[in-house]
Structure 1
Amino acid sequence: MEANEISFENLPKAVAHLVSEIAKIKFLVERKEAVKIPQKRIPIDIVEACRIIGKAKPTVYTLVRKRLIPCYKNGKKLYFFEDELLDWISQGRKKTMQEIEAEAKLDFGKNFKKIGANLNKN
């Protein structure tokens, strides 16, 4: 609707048109996802790495020497990234007894069916 078409007689049409335009804009704004700005990965030193994983320096040096922990070396200095250390920690998660029992029951059920099928064939 053009601005010059608005008069007292067609005011209800103009308001209806504006309401529909606002609804379209609202839909577009709500649908748009938040812009994700990638964070810079800043390397940390061994002191900070020790603090994050809760280990002493000699222990971290041993883990590095055995190549058990993610690290980077530039010259004689070791560098770590916090997100990699946290991923490394989460990979060492121990299963609960309930998880172990559920897996055992599931495996037992599968193996039991295989054994029963092999016995029926013979």
Structure 2
Amino acid sequence: MPRQNFALAAAAVVLFANASPASAEQLAGNDLKQFVNGKRVYLETPFGGEFPLSYKPSGVVTGDGTALGLGKYFRPKESGKWWVDGENLCQKWPTWYDGKTSCFRIRKTGERSLDWVRDDGRSGSARIEG
């Protein structure tokens, strides 16, 4: 009997370790573009609050950290460009990130939620509206 319980427990550990949320979906290409196009993404910040990014159909993205009081650290509001490259949502800002392109992999975790991983390894969560 103890051996059978151990086998069942081991099987349960393997199943749960390999399980991922049924709604989590890695987005790419046109699916990724449709998910953000014309929408506002609210990035969760480590100090509370949210950082909004508006993805316009024209390929312009606008970020605004004014409400978070980020003006003392960098220009709080800026508009740049966004595009999709395969599995990546890419952005280029005039001054943020020293004007360098940053790309993100996006996992849709719900109809209005996502997880992201930036090409430098940083990651987080966000909600999306629009």
- TM-score norm. by structure 2 comes to 0.31
Structure showing the higher helix proportion among its residues? 1
Q: Which has the higher contact order (CA 8 A, sep 6+)?
A: 2
Larger Cα-atom Rg: 1
